[in-house]
Amino acid sequence: MSEKKYFGTDGVRGEVGQFPITPDFVMRLAYAAGRVLVQHGSDHRPTVLIGKDTRISGYMLEAAMEAGFTAAGVNVLLTGPLPTPGVAYLTRALRLDCGVMISASHNAYSDNGIKFFAEGGVKLSDETELEIEAQIDQPMETVPAEKLGRARRMAGAQDRYIEFCKSTFPNDLNLRGLKLVVDTANGAAYHIAPKVLHELGADVVEIGNEPDGFNINEKTGATHTKTLQAAVLQNEADYGIALDGDGDRLMMVDRNGKVYDGDSLIYVIAKARAQAGQLGGGVVGTVMTNMAMELALKERNIEFARAKVGDRYVLEQLYQRGWQVGGEASGHIVCLDKHNTGDGIVSALQVLAALRYLQQDLATALNWRPFPQTMINVRINKGHNWQAAVEPVATQVIQELSGRGRVVLRPSGTEPVVRVMVEAQQSDVAQEAAERIARVIEESL
C-alpha cells in the first residue's frame, strides 16, 4: 500500500495558516473527498455533514470545506459546534455518505484539523484516504452549475445528540442524588454534556463552558485536570467529569480530588459488566495500557489484548475479536454496544452506571494501583539502526522484571525520537531501567 502524504493516524492536522491547514488546501481536500463520494455514489447526490469545535479558525475552515464539497456536486449539512462523536452519530443516524469534524482535539486554539467519517459513522479506510489524496493532486474543476451542491444549516443537531447520549444510560437508573462538576474544556461539548447529565437527574456544576474561540483546552479539560480537581473540592461534589476540546476523551475525579485516567475507567466498566454477565468478551487496550490493569483483569478472568497506540487500532481489534469494551489511558474509551467511536459523554455515563450497579465509588471499585512508568524520549538520526544496539539490554531488563513489568520501545511517527517506556512495580526500578536502555541508544549514535 502507498504511503499517505497528508492523512495522519486521525485525519489532517496542523497549525492554522501553515500548510496543510490553509483555506486553499482545505477547500481542495473537501473537493477531492467530494469527487470520491460522487464516484462511489453514482445513483444519488451525496450529502456530507460538517461539525466543528469552538476554535476561531473553525469559521474559515468550515467555509472552505463548504466551497470544496459543493464545487464537487455534494450537498452539505452544517451543524455548528458539536463533539466529534456527535458528528459520527448523526452521520450514521441520518444515513449520510460522509461526516467531517473540524477540530484539533486537545491541542491549543492555534491548531486545527479535519477528521472524516465514512458512511455509518466509522473512520475512513486507508484505501479511501489514498483515493482522496490522489484526487487532491488533480486539477480542481467545478461541476456544471446545474450539478452544484447545496448547503444548509441543520436545526436540532445538538438536541438529537443529547437524546442519543441519554439513551445509552440504563432506563431503570438515574443520576439523582449525585453532584457532578463538568469541565468541557471550552470546547465542542460545552452546551451538550451539562444538559445530558442534568436531564438524567444530576446536580450539575459547569466549568470550562465559556468558549471565546481562543480558550479551548486552555488550563482546562481532560488534559489539564487541576482546574477540575479544585472545583470538585470547592463544590463538595461527588465526581468531576473532564472532556477534551472535541468531546471524545474522558478523565474523572472523585470527591477527594483524585484523578482517574482511561485505564481506570475502562476497568470499572469491564468489572461491572463482567459481574452482570454483560461484558461480551474481553477488553482491548494499547501497548501503553498499564500492566497493573492487565493483571487486575486477569484476576477476574477477563481476557485482555493490546493494540497499537491510537483509537482506530483499538477499534480494529474490537471488531476482529467481537468484543465491546476498549480504549486508552489518554481517555479514549469505546463501548461498541453504545457507540462505534470513542465518546467522552457516553463513556462517563457508562462509568456512572457501572458504579450504580456495583454500589461502589471509584476508589472502592479500583482494587489495584497503576505500576510506575518512566518515559524517556531519545533523539535519533534518520535511518539509524538503533534496534540492533538496544536488543540485548532490553532483553536483559525484561528478564529482570520477571513478568511484573514491561518495556516498550516506540519510534515517534512525527519526530526523530524513540520513546523508551519502562513499567515496574517500583518507580526507582522503572527509572533505572529506562535510563539504562536510553543510554545504550544514545551511545549507539
User: Could you tell me if 64 and 105 are in contact, meaning their C-beta atoms sit under 8 angstroms apart?
Assistant: no
Alpha-carbon gap, residue 76 to 374, rounded angstroms: 47
- φ, ψ dihedrals at 312, nearest 5°: -65, -30
User: Could you tell me if 335 and 268 are in contact, meaning their C-beta atoms sit under 8 angstroms apart?
Assistant: no
For 178, what's the count of Cα atoms within 13 Å in the CB-facing half-sphere? 25
What the block records as the C-alpha cell of 149 is 451542491
Alpha helices in 218-290 (DSSP H): 226-235, 262-275
For 76, what's the count of Cα atoms within 13 Å in the CB-facing half-sphere? 29
What the block records as the C-alpha cell of 444 is 549507539
Tell me the pairing of strands 283-286 and 325-327. parallel
- Does the annotation count 167 as an active-site position? no
Q: What single string gives the DSSP state of each residue in 243-309?
A: E-TTS-BEEEEETT--EE-HHHHHHHHHHHHHHTT---S-EEEETTS-HHHHHHHHHTT--EEEE-S
Alpha-carbon gap, residue 344 to 262, rounded angstroms: 10
Q: Given the residues 57, 105, 264, 330, select the one marked as catalytic.
A: 105
Count CB-CB contacts under 10 A for residue 77.
20
Residues tagged active-site: 105
